[in-house]
């Protein structure tokens, strides 16, 4: 029995001497990346494009990030509910627009809908009329 206890496990030695493949390093690099969804970079970019001389603090970016996430989640949930209520299986721009109208009020609603419509047109390759390009 003492012979078995003193011998190392074969699987441990195999793993240590196993030659590494070229793809293994690339796979590790992909694993290291975290899937952290944050709008901080976009918030900073939009602020710089609108107001180049004004900066923003990290706590302010955190507040804005939470706000954007919350609005995004609300719109997605309402659009999903609308799709289910109409017994459809496809979420379209119509449901997104309706959910936006339900959540946002006043001028913010009007601006959000018009910007959303122009973004959809740009994505479809149609020319946008009356919208400012930034």
Return the pLDDT at 78: 97
Cβ-contact 100, 112 below 8 angstroms: yes
Whether domain 53-124 has CATH 1.10.20.10: yes
Question: Residues in the chain with pLDDT < 70?
Answer: 1-36, 130-134
DSSP letter string, 16-57: HHPPPPHHHHHHHHHHHS------HHHHHHHHHHH-TT----
Question: Could you state, in order of their start, the residue ranges of all structural domains in the chain?
Answer: 53-124
pLDDT at 1 (0 to 100): 54
**pLDDT score for 42:** 94
Name the pTM for this structure: 0.66
pLDDT for position 22: 61
Q: Are 61 and 43 in contact (CB under 8 A)?
A: yes
Tally of CA atoms within 13 A in the half-sphere of 134 that contains its CB: 11
Q: What pLDDT is stored for residue 95 in this prediction?
A: 96
């Amino acid at each position: 029995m003492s012979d078995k206890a003193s011998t190392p496990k074969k699987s441990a030695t195999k793993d240590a001497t196993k030659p590494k493949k070229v793809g293994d390093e690339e796979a590790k690099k992909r694993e290291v990346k975290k899937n952290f969804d944050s709008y901080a970079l976009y918030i900073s970019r939009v602020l710089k494009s609108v107001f180049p001389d004004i900066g923003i603090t990290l706590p302010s970016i955190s507040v804005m990030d939470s706000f954007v996430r919350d609005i995004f989640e609300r719109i997605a949930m309402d659009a999903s509910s609308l799709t289910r209520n109409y017994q459809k299986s496809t979420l379209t721009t119509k449901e997104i627009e309706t959910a936006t109208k339900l959540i946002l009020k006043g001028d913010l609603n009007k601006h959000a809908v018009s910007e959303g419509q122009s973004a959809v047109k740009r994505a479809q390759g149609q020319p946008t009329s009356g919208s400012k390009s930034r």
